Amino acid sequence: MKKVIFFSFLFLLISNFLLASIHGKILGKVTDKKGNPLKDVKVKIISTKTLSVHFEVKTDKKGNYMQVGIYPGYYIIQFEKKGYLTVTKEVKVSIGESTRVNVKMESADEYVSKKLSPANKAFLEGNKYFNQNKFDEAIEKYKRAIELGAGQENYLFLYYFNLGLAYKKINKIQEAINSFLKCVELNPESYSSYKNLGELFAKNNDYEKAKFYFEKAIELSPEDPVALYNLSVSYINTGQSNKAWEILQKVISLDPDFEDAYYYLGTLSISRNEKEKAISYLEKFLELASEDNPNTKIANQLLNYLKKKNP
């Protein structure tokens, strides 16, 4: 038995040696343009004869890859990774030899940046800072993009819009308002600009102007429950409760789970002396409300009062 095992092992060694002697292998390393290794790059090895994928491997954490057992001939190698430009190489594999193919992959952002105007480059840099929550730095880049982008109205709208968002993030209300006002000047059909203006004026307790801009937003998007809800709150704060009531009814018809709409319908029902409706709306609000909703405590107090009056 031992002899048989030894013979089988010996046969396996000989077979592997023979296979290695008539096959080749492809190996190499994949890095970015700065020389940093790229992990999980998909490496496809494609026969030029059949144009079908013969092998597919991925790079390890050091950027290395290797494929053995490749018949001699010409192959196309494709290197693919999300966020990077695909690299294609053609190589010849010879019997018993190692074919090394090292590549450097360029990120899509780097490639696009090369093709962009200075204004758009500054804009993309601003977006990078914005995504890192570095809003002051983002603002400086957006302002630079605006400065460089004179005469590029199609792009200027985006520059001002993101500038407005960055100002809004750091609670610079007037600066954000000025940015979005410029947006609607450049693009009078910008729903998001009107909506942001409404929110900013409401935050400034200027509900008349908030109402105006929410109405402009709704003209462009009549079925948006969020804009409608915000408009209803502006009506409440300007003493137009009947209009607010009508709008809130539309809100819950569009979104039956819009919790705060039920809260305001409940409070408005009290002022309309419709206690059963008030109870129903407030109970629905509490059923939907999240634990951190600031209106939960008041809703519970109102319900307790109403139920004492309506045993």
pLDDT at 253 > cutoff 90: yes
Residue 96 has pLDDT above 60, yes or no: yes
pLDDT at residue 134 tops 50: yes
What are the residue ranges of helices labelled H in 149-206?
153-169, 173-186, 191-203
Asked, colleague to colleague, whether 22-106 and 111-309 share their fold, the answer is no
CATH of 111-309, one of 1.25.40.10, 3.40.50.720, 3.40.50.300, 3.60.15.10: 1.25.40.10
Q: Which residues contact 138 (CB under 8 A, 6 or more apart)?
A: 126, 127, 129, 130, 162, 166
272-282 confidence digits (pLDDT tens): 999 899 999 99
Per-residue pLDDT of 97-126, as tens digits, reads 899 999 999 888 777 766 778 888 899 899
Summarised one tens digit per residue, pLDDT across range 20-63 is 455 789 999 999 999 999 999 999 998 866 666 679 999 999 99
1 pLDDT more than 80: no
Closest to 154 in 3D by CA, of 127, 117, 125, 128 = 117
Domain boundaries, the chain: 22-106, 111-309
pLDDT of 16: 45
Fold of 22-106: Immunoglobulin-like (2.60.40)
**Average pLDDT of every residue of the chain:** 87
Question: What pLDDT is stored for residue 72 in this prediction?
Answer: 84
